[in-house]
Amino acid sequence: MDILLWVIMIMLGLLGSFFSGLLGIGGAIINYPLLLYVPPLFGAAHFSAHEVSSISMFQVFFASLAGVLAFQKSKSKTGHSVVHKGLIVYMGISILVGSLIGGYISGMLQGDVINLIYGILAVLAVILMLIPRKGSDEVKENLQFNKAIAVVSAFIVGIVSGIVGAGGAFILIPIMLTILKIPTRTTITSSLAIVFISAIGGVFGKLTGGHIPLWPTLFTVVGSLIGAPLGSKVSSKINVKVLRYGLVFLIALTAVKVWSSIL
C-alpha cells in the first residue's frame, strides 16, 4: 500500500465520519460512492463492491462509536438528554439482528446487485426526507412512538444496510422523522447509537463473509476516529432545519452518482 492510497483512505474516512457526527449517520451513504470512484480516479486502487461494502462497514462501526462518545453528554436547551434510551433499545436490538443477516448475505451477492440495492435505498431516503412532517423539533421528556413500527422497520433496514456495508441511518433517520414523528435533534443523536449497534452485527457478518482489504480498511478507520468528534461539535451549533436539508442534499447527490454508473 503506497503513500498516496494511505492519504486517500484517511481523508475518505475523515470526510465520511465528519458527516456521521454532523448528521447522525454512519457515513456509508457518503463513503460508499467515494470508495468506489475516488481511489481509481487517482490511480491508487480499484475496490470491488464487496470490498467497498466491507471497508464502509468498519468505517461506520468506528465513526458511530466516536460519535456516540462525543454525544453522550449532550443536552437539549431544556436540560433533557437528547439521546432516547427507549428508541435505542427497541430499534437497536432489531437492527442488530437484521444487520447480522444482511452482512452474511452480502458475500453471496454479485457486486452489481449490491450497487443496485444502495441506489434504491438512497432514492427512498430522499423521498422520505422530502415528505412534509408535522411536529416540533423540541426535545420531549416523555417521548411516545409506535414500538411495532420501530422494531419492524429497524429489522428491514438492518438487512439491507448490512448488505451494502452501511449502518442504515441514511434510511433510518427519514423513518424516525416522518413515520415515528421523532424530533429532529433526538433522531440525529439517538440514531448514532442505533447505527453503532447495527454496525456490530454488520462487522461480524463481513468477517464471516470475507472480502476485507486489511490496510485500506485500517487507514479509513484512522480517519474516521478523527472526523466524527469534529462533526459532533459542529452539529450542536447548527439549526436542525439546516441539518435536515443538508442530509437530503448529500443523499440525493450520491444517489445520482451511483445510478448514473448503474445505468
What is the full DSSP assignment across the chain? --HHHHHHHHHHHHHHHHHHHHHTS-SHHHHHHHHHHHHHHTTS----HHHHHHHHHHHHHHHHHHHHHHHTT-B-TTS-BSS-HHHHHHHHHHHHHHHHHHHHHHTTS-HHHHHHHHHHHHHHHHHHHHS---S--S--SS----HHHHHHHHHHHHHHHHHHT--SHHHHHHHHHHTS---HHHHHHHHHHHHHHHHHHHHHHHHHH----HHHHHHHHHHHHHHHHHHHHHHTTS-HHHHHHHHHHHHHHHHHHHHHHH-
Q: How crowded is the C-beta side of 177, counted as CA atoms within 13 Å?
A: 30
Q: Which residue has the higher pLDDT, 74 or 260?
A: 260
User: pLDDT exceeding 70 applies to what percent of the chain?
Assistant: 83
**Is pLDDT of 158 > 80?**
yes
Q: Which residue has the higher pLDDT, 70 or 52?
A: 52
Q: Hey, what's the cell of 13?
A: 474516512
How far is it, in rounded angstroms, from Cα 87 to Cα 183? 12
Please give the mean pLDDT across all residues of the chain. 79
* 120 Cα distance to chain centroid: 15
Average pLDDT over residues 58-65: 80
pLDDT per residue over 118-157, tens digit each? 888 878 877 876 776 554 555 555 778 899 999 999 999 9
Number of domains within the chain: 1
**The pLDDT value given to residue 93:** 92
* 245 Cα distance to chain centroid: 16
- pTM of the predicted structure, to 2 decimals: 0.74
Domain of 176 in residue numbering reads as 3-262
